[in-house]
Amino acid sequence: MNVRLTIENHVATVTLSRPTAMNAVDLATRDELLAIWSSLEANTDVRVIVLTGEGDRAFCVGADLKEPGRYGLDYWAHPTPGGFGGIALRETLNTPIIARVNGYALGGGFEMVLGADIIVAVEEAKFGLPEPRVGHIPLDGGAVLLQRHIPYRQAMGMLMTGRHISAREALTMGLINEVVPRAELDEAVGRWVKDILACAPTSLRAIKQCARLTSTLTPVEAQRARLPALIAALEAEDSEEGVRAFREKRAPVWSGR
């Protein structure tokens, strides 16, 4: 197994487990990831996902370039569903995703980070899209996502040079949420997980779907959108439970329904 999936207390942890290859994604790893994301989409008991890499060196350095046949026109014509790792451009997973960046996040690894909702990184982390330095293009999400997350000039500066940026630079750009010392990484991620679990799962799924599907609409068009997850949240038991708990001055007990 190149990817480990654990689920405990409504939290799924997806760990890339090829530390000797800096968690590079080969075809077998890609297929494992695709199966995992599909299983998590169907698992309504999971309320938050933590995505990370094994070891202290790398989150993921992208595609395994030692494996033949991964690039070229044929690869462009038959892209990975959902973008790199099956998650960079995935449009059907409404569960919140936290990227726990424990080291280098390069190429496709950076694309996977861009597919997350919240990003927490260690101080030593590096981010970059070095594809042009090896004659390739970040086709699985990087070229289209980066300019939507940070100002155009900064995005093009990274895309057209293949340069790496530090975690602190990424934080200044607004690209990530938090930078912490390595010893505090799990504690920081845990705080985000705790805060997410305190919210209604139905509300969070609706918020994520709304944010994703209305980003190109005008405010009025977005407000009028009748999105499935939003309608489900407004009709959910959790909606009633939240108000009831507020009136009774207690913590809500979410059912996820």
Under 8 Å between Cβ of 124 and 165: no
224-to-201, 219, 231 alpha-carbon distances in Å: 22, 9, 12
Under 8 Å between Cβ of 202 and 191: no
Tokens 């500066």, located at residue: 157
Helix %, strand %, coil % of the chain (to 5): 45, 20, 40
How many whole angstroms separate alpha carbon 248 and alpha carbon 242?
10
The residue among 82, 86, 133, 79 whose CA lies nearest residue 106 is 133
Active site residues: 111, 131
How many whole angstroms separate alpha carbon 78 and alpha carbon 98?
28
DSSP state for residue 11 in the 8-state scheme: E
CB-count exposure of residue 200 (10 Å: 0-12, 13-18, 19+)? buried
